[in-house]
Copies of this chain bind each other. A is one copy, B any other.
Amino acid sequence: MTAEVICVGTELLLGDILNTNAQFLAKQLAGLGIPHYYQTVVGDNPERLKQVLEIATARSPQGGGLARTQILLFTGGLGPTPDDLTTETIADFFNAPLVERPEVIEDITRKYAQRGREMTPSNRKQALIPQGADILPNPAGTAPGIIWQPRPNLTILTFPGVPSELKRMWQETAVPYLKSQGWGKQIIYSRMLRFWGIAESALAEKVSSLLDLPNPTVAPYAGQGEVRLRVSAFASSETAALELIKPVEQEIQQIAGLDYYGADNDTLASVVGQLLQSSGQTLSVAESCTGGGLGQMLTTISGSSSYFMGGVISYDNQVKISLLDVNPEDLAQHGAVSDLVAQQMAIGVKQRLATDWGVSITGIAGPGDGTETKPVGLVYIGIAAPDNTVESLKYQLNPQQERSLIRQMSACQALDLLRRKLLANSSRR
């Protein structure tokens, strides 16, 4: 059994967009233990798409039973516009007629009505499905995909190119389907361990003895301030894989200490959320250079309203004075980017919003506004604690980084600082 990924879209060949779908599907196939040897990108061109189909189907694997099965995963070209050609081209290749499916018409009509709009004539072609194919529903978008076996031992699944729609269709329909067909018996299962406050090379050296293990394997990654270790096990089930992974994970956690903050879907925001939730404490934020980004991060967590009350975006200095009670003379003398102002912002928002904790960020995101004494990337983070003490820490982020990265890393740094203080506080109780 093998699976190939075929991404359809001229925008990929023009380099307009990054092919994240290919990575997602490859990772998913690895997770299901389905061998995957080829990916192809082709444009919105029926002749070339048919050539690709010819080549891919000629590569059908040898062997008996399940081993002989081939899966072709297509992304893109399911939209309503003239250059969306995937479904009709695939049907044409296998000489199957297209049939208009009324349930798809109904579904598209209903989705448009919900948004106060009407379905347009061009949407009708999205309801044309090859005869004999099943519909792969697309709850978050308009165009459905198909699950189709046009000939024995060949299964075709099509998805739209929009990554969020594809991922949802994959999880909700494709994975259960593939598992029901018997795939995914041996799996590769991974846990992604996350670290903040330590460089990749430093962490890799701390865990160097673990980087040569055969199963599970440990691989380091880094990006945007975060460092990760992927621990992957090849086993017959998730449970068996975890039995291999857990001891290694525990050893890594012991070695890394507080630099380890979570795994997989944990984020600094979710971990901080859990700590606040279990202590029953509340939080507010006072943001300058991040402009609301810290609040945005905290509120990505559904249910954050139980601990996050809100905050003040004091982008302008006058707002720091009027809404956060920062002393105008201190502001004038020390500047907004200073320990003193960071502390006053933190205490100010804590008091104004009557929360247990107050966190502030003030800094220079760049690319302009840096000086010799206060360069781009300089950030102060203030933390006001439940006992009304307040402290601030100074960070110098790499000034060569883009504005957006400096802002993102500042917000993460603030979350990590709060995380460590919450952990220290909870161990004292």
Contact = CB atoms under 8 A, between A and B. Distances in A.
Interface string A32-52: 000011111111110010011
A352 interface: yes
Contacts of A199: 112, 117, 120
A319 B309 contact: yes
A14 B41 contact: no
Nearest to A82: B211
Interface stretch (A237-245, A293-301, A382-390): A293-301
Contacts of A298: 291-292
Given A296-B296, A310-B315, A312-B312, A303 B368 contact: yes
A323 B397 CA distance: 33
A267 to B, nearest CB: 12
A425 interface: no
Contact of A188 (B14, B112, B285, B308): B14
Interface stretch (A93-101, A175-183, A247-255, A398-406): A398-406
A38 B37 CA distance: 16
A117 B201 CA distance: 11
Interface stretch (A67-75, A149-157, A219-227): A219-227
Interface stretch (A5-13, A325-333, A414-422): A5-13
B299 A292 contact: yes
Interface of A: 10-20, 22-30, 36-45, 48, 51-52, 55, 59, 79-83, 111-112, 114-117, 120-123, 139-140, 162, 164, 188, 190, 192, 199-202, 204-205, 211-212, 219-224, 230, 232, 285, 287, 289-296, 298-300, 302-305, 308-316, 318-319, 322-323, 352-354, 365-368, 396-405, 407
